[in-house]
Amino acid sequence: MPQLLLATNNAGKVAEYRQLLDGSGWQIVTPAEIGLKIAIDETGQTYAENATLKAVAYASASGLTSLADDSGLEVDALDGRPGVLSARYAGADRTDAERAEALLTELRDVADERRTARFRCVIAIASGEDRVELAEGAVEGRIVREPRGESGFGYDPIFLLPERGLTMAELPAGEKHRVSHRGAAAREARVILERWRSDRQP
């Protein structure tokens, strides 16, 4: 079974991708598991640029097909911020909870009907600079006033799915994967990975 390197050290993302890509025909490995330590400056202006930067760098360093994503929260009342800076919002050394709290503080005086937002995810799969494919997903929602739920990570506790009346962090993992931006992008990525695996077979 070919190995697929997840180009992240984020434990939450690793856990989700192991579930989302289970049964894809690839053995999922992490940088820690193969002893790879590299640092990538996410200098891209878009999710696609950042995901591609990471996927190509990890593929080049490891010799393995690599999958990277870049995702973010876009809040309409903040003109789409934090967007590509979501992971570094309010400072690079902040915790998920601190970033969420900073966002809620900024939205404190914004009426509920104007708190619309979306999660967006772009996945890049690379086997070198010359072979890169992208997959994308998005989900619409609204920012609540206080964190709710214990599951998930990042901004999940403050992102409400209005049709369910629950935040991302209140959803069981299986349901989250069905509706989330990362789940949608991963379903597209599975199609790419299955095709690439077929290409490798004699």
Just list the catalytic residues.
70
**Which residues does residue 166 pair with via DSSP β-bridges, in sequence order?**
161
3-state DSSP assignment of residue 125? strand
> Tokens representing 141?
């929602």
Residue with tokens 């309409």: 76
Q: How far apart are CA 70 and CA 103, in angstroms?
A: 19
Max Cα separation, the chain? 61
- For residue 31, give every residue at least 6 positions away whose Cβ sits within 8 Å of its Cβ, in sequence order, or none: 5, 6, 7, 8, 9, 37, 38, 58, 62
123, 186 contact by CB (below 8 A)? yes
